[in-house]
Amino acid sequence: MFTGIVEEVGRIARIDQRGENRRITIMTESITRGLHTGDSCAVSGVCLTALDITPKSFAADLAPETWVRTSFSRVTPGTLVNLELPLRADGRLGGHIMQGHVDGVGKLRQSLAQHRSACRA
């Protein structure tokens, strides 16, 4: 579980095709201090499993469904991503509880600006 509160902003360093999956490598400043292989990490709101952890980076594998159904299909090396470690059971709950698992995909029909404009007319 996550709170939705961003702990750090990382940067996509590379994206490697591995068969039908992709592996992204994310450069970080400090979040890897609390990260171990196999741990969950929310990357721009999506729960991923940390792999190949170094002091300044970690990797995560993306299945085709994750690639297609999230914003990851639009990232390139250099893209900034929000990072968050899971909520500890003894931690303070700020924000809200979220899983980071994709349950469905919606389509934005109207932006807030479009909505406001239509309401004024």
pLDDT at residue 23 in the model:
97
According to DSSP, the β-strands at 40-43 and 80-84 are antiparallel
63 closest CA partner among 101, 23, 15, 27: 23
Higher pLDDT, 76 or 88: 76
Lowest mean pLDDT among 2-11, 38-47, 98-107: 98-107
The class of domain 8-120 in CATH terms is mainly beta
User: DSSP letter string over 6-69?
Assistant: --EEEEEEEEEEETTEEEEEEE-SSGGGG--TT-EEEETTEEEE-EEEETTEEEEEE-HHHHHH
Please write the tens of the pLDDT for every residue from 15-48.
Answer: 999 999 999 999 999 999 989 999 999 999 899 9
Percent of the chain past pLDDT 90, that is, above it, reads 57
Per-residue tokens: 58: 């970690």
